[in-house]
A and B are shown apart, each in its own frame.
Chain A
């Protein structure tokens, strides 16, 4: 494996990790603060991708489309919260699973009906279209860089908000004990709504920035949802810091694993065996990591208690 390839893969892993973090942040907070298991969180990611596609068609400008998409994703999240999720916070996990499963089925089918079953794509904006020369042999697309930077920026803003603002303090307290927060006289309903709306918007944002990189298709949120679950289990439910570290870890391991598993195996076993087992092992790596974390730290790397 050449150094250049390795570097590119690391960057790709980093970028995948950032996407995962954007989705995981909302999911882990909704879990931590409300104890609500939202399977439909991955669908918000799909919604974001389709929104940016639709707005680009309408306005012709990627930047305008991004802002319109974020606004729409936020409103969409708030509406879902108001009409459905709000009524499920006190229900059993089973009810929550069932209702959010219903929402997934509906939205996946709706996407298929409105946009068709074929995959769609969006071109990155002009000013982010090229690639830059990193070293003599290494060029990397500007757009992918931009997504890494956007992810880091969101992480920084979230970290600041949760560590230093009043609402962040409430969220941290809520992750430990929701009763305590409402005992403080805080409007817990509004806090939930804000957390939920922001979470939905972040997942939508992930979908938006993923749109020029990955194929837009119905059901695109389902698989990433499960990887996001792996991320928040590894990071510790309710922990933003944990989600960040775990997202990067999962992003890197998954990306590198898919490229190198076969190669590494073939140094140990026969090539044909490596070719057969390699891809399977690569797709299992993050689950193996999760299992290992569970054995040694059942509550995740950075459990939410105390630290956000």
Chain B
């Protein structure tokens, strides 16, 4: 059933590609902004799904890498680095380094311990960001200059930024798709199903998990970079554990191992937040119980509607 999910992805990306041409007919910059927001969420969620869905590593601190990426970019911008490619390199290096340190420690454990440790490291990152007094501390930092592509401001707003984010989303989708089918992805799934067995097949499980953790962190970091470009603002709130929780919600709503699901989940969350939030100020009073009920009664959530073969954990 691989084909069906590819067709579905083609439709999804086709629609996203058309949006900037369709939406101005309804005269809405606001909607474009919402779609960018959802796509950024989807990028981070797909990267988290590589960990949870394929690797079986439930991280509750993934938003920290979005925060680290955003701050790496913001600090670069504040210090006069405006070339987006250079900022990308910086972001990848910084998130990669943070992931290497925290991952090597966190991956000494697994299961519940891993979950709690990633949560703790995420919180540690959050506190570190709040202590960056020179870059806004608790309040965050508004950025007066944004990244440029070879001196051009095309990637700063409007359709330039939209297509940059869409392109990144596609690259993430495609990259994780490739990884999931690759030799590496297969080892990762074997380690998820039975780490001892994978070890006895000759695989140093922790090493493979660490590499997956690095990749996921770096992708999340890139979404942070783009987030800065879109919001023109960074704050430690990006790295709170509630944001990590939101990412898990997106991944689970979309279905484990399903990249299309992660995109739908991201749009679902953003729409809920905006639409529900515009009608009822206290929308969380509804959202919270909906999550509980979803787990209790509709296991699989909206994912059930779009389950693809590899979403069930089968080898792709």
Contact = CB atoms under 8 A, between A and B. Distances in A.
Determine whether A and B are in direct contact in the complex, meaning some CB atoms lie less than 8 angstroms apart.
Answer: yes
B105 A295 contact: yes
Contacts of B123: 223, 226, 287
Interface string B126-139: 01100111100000
B292 interface: yes
A84 interface: yes
A111 B120 CA distance: 25
A226 B295 contact: no
Interface in B279-302: 282, 284-285, 287-292, 294-296, 299
Interface string B170-191: 0000000000000000000000
Interface in A67-113: 84, 87-88, 91, 93-95, 97-99, 101-110, 112-113
A284 B248 CA distance: 25
Contact of A91 (B111, B116, B120, B295): B295
B295 A105 contact: no
Nearest to A101: B245
A41 B296 CA distance: 19
Interface string A276-308: 100110011001001100110010000000000
B316 interface: no
B252 A98 contact: yes
Nearest to B132: A280
A173 interface: no
B115 interface: yes
A102 B291 contact: yes
A98 B249 contact: yes
A237 interface: yes
Chain A interface extent, by class: 35 or more
B111 A93 contact: yes
B108 A237 contact: no
B112 interface: yes
Q: Is the interface of A mostly helix, strand, loop or mixed?
A: helix
Interface string A230-250: 101100010000000000000
A222 B128 contact: no
Q: Is the interface of B mostly helix, strand, loop or mixed?
A: helix
A91 B252 CA distance: 14
Contacts of B294: 98, 102
A97 B120 contact: no
Given A97-B58, A103-B288, A222-B242, A229 B120 contact: yes
Contacts, number: 123
A159 interface: no
Given A222-B241, A226-B120, A284-B128, A276 B133 contact: yes
A99 B295 contact: yes
A101 B109 contact: no
Interface in A107-138: 107-110, 112-113
B252 A109 contact: no
A295 B115 CA distance: 16
Given A97-B58, A287-B123, A294 B288 contact: no
Contact of B291 (A99, A113, A229, A294): A99
A102 B292 contact: yes
B52 A102 contact: no
A283 B124 CA distance: 7
Contacts of A93: 58, 111-112, 115
A226 B291 contact: no
Contact of A279 (B131, B248, B252, B285): B131
Given A222-B242, A284-B127, A98 B291 contact: yes
B212 interface: no
A93 B289 CA distance: 18
A203 B282 CA distance: 26
B60 A97 contact: yes
Contacts of A237: 112-113
B121 interface: yes
B112 A95 contact: no
B284 A233 contact: no
A283 B296 CA distance: 37
B288 A280 contact: no
B46 interface: no
A31 B285 CA distance: 27
Given A93-B111, A290-B117, 7 more contacts: A93-B112, A105-B284, A106-B289, A106-B292, A109-B285, A113-B282, A283-B131
**Ordered nearest first, which 10 A-B pairs have the shortest CB separation?**
A106-B288, A102-B291, A280-B131, A105-B288, A109-B284, A283-B127, A99-B295, A287-B124, A102-B292, A229-B116
15 contacts: A35-B112, A94-B52, A95-B299, A97-B115, A98-B294, A101-B291, A107-B288, A109-B282, A223-B123, A233-B113, A276-B133, A284-B124, A287-B120, A294-B109, A294-B117
Interface of A: 31, 35, 37, 39, 84, 87-88, 91, 93-95, 97-99, 101-110, 112-113, 222-223, 226, 229-230, 232-233, 237, 276, 279-280, 283-284, 287, 290-291, 294-295, 298
